Amino acid sequence: MRILYFAWLRERLNKGEEEVNLPEQVRTVSDLLSWLASTDEAADLAFGDRRIIRAAVDERLVGHDASISGARTVALFPPMTGG
């Protein structure tokens, strides 16, 4: 699965994207955020307040309870403001 990081997530993780092989138990956006946070200290800090992280699965905005099973891409980004 390809994971894309935007805005300050990209900066804090020092990468814009990565390819990952997820463990079988990672099935939702929430599971993914928890798993990513467990992979290293920078990710743990970046995903410290998971409630504010927004997600899109295969280019569709979704909630944290959304399934990622079979997804090709998950994009993760902080809240955005318009103007």
pTM value is 0.92
Q: What is the pLDDT of residue 62?
A: 98
Distance, in Å, from the CA atom of 4 to the CA atom of 6, rounded to the nearest integer, reads 7
Q: What is the pLDDT of residue 81?
A: 56
Distance, in Å, from the CA atom of 46 to the CA atom of 58, rounded to the nearest integer, reads 22
Q: What is the pLDDT of residue 82?
A: 56
Q: What is the pLDDT of residue 65?
A: 98
Domain boundaries, the chain: 2-73
Residue 12: Cβ-neighbour burial (10 angstroms; 0-12, 13-18, 19+): middle
Instruction: For the chain, 83 residues long, give each residue's pLDDT as a single digit of tens.
Output: 999 999 999 999 999 999 999 999 999 999 999 999 999 899 999 998 999 999 999 999 999 999 999 999 999 999 875 55
Distance, in Å, from the CA atom of 44 to the CA atom of 1, rounded to the nearest integer, reads 20
Q: Give domain 2-73's CATH number out of 1.10.20, 1.10.287, 3.10.20, 3.30.420.
A: 3.10.20
